[in-house]
Amino acid sequence: MSDKKKQADKEAMKILRQQRKQSIDRVRGAIKSQNKDIKSIKDALKDGGKTVPEITAATKMPSSRVMVFVATLKKYGMVAEGPKDGDYFKYELIDA
């Protein structure tokens, strides 16, 4: 590749990054927030199995958000559904 082509590619990438900066920053913020929420849920489950309402109380997150993350963690093998406690299942961390 010629030096002119390399320089043109660098400039094109620089312009593209500037144009997409807001969306990149927004996505970075969302990922950071999700990682923080997942860490809070895992921290709440370190002491043992908990139901979604118990996790909600421990993390101060809305139950709908907790349920989405618990389902995702279950899908990827990080959390297991334990025994039922009343109307709710207890969720437990899986040791990796």
List the helix and strand counts (H, then E) for the chain.
4, 2
Determine the pLDDT at residue 1: 67
Handedness of CA 29, 30, 32, 37 (dihedral sign): positive
Geometric angle at alpha carbon 34, from 72 and 86, rounded to 5° = 45
Whether pTM exceeds 0.95: no
Give CATH for domain 3-93. Answer: 1.10.10.10
Q: What is the pLDDT of residues 44-89, one digit of tens each?
A: 999 899 999 999 999 999 999 999 999 999 999 999 999 998 999 9
Q: Who's near 80: CB < 8 A, 6+ residues apart?
A: 74, 91, 92, 94
Q: What is the DSSP letter of 94?
A: P
User: pLDDT-derived band of residue 96, with 50, 70 and 90 as boundaries?
Assistant: low
Domain locations along the chain: 3-93
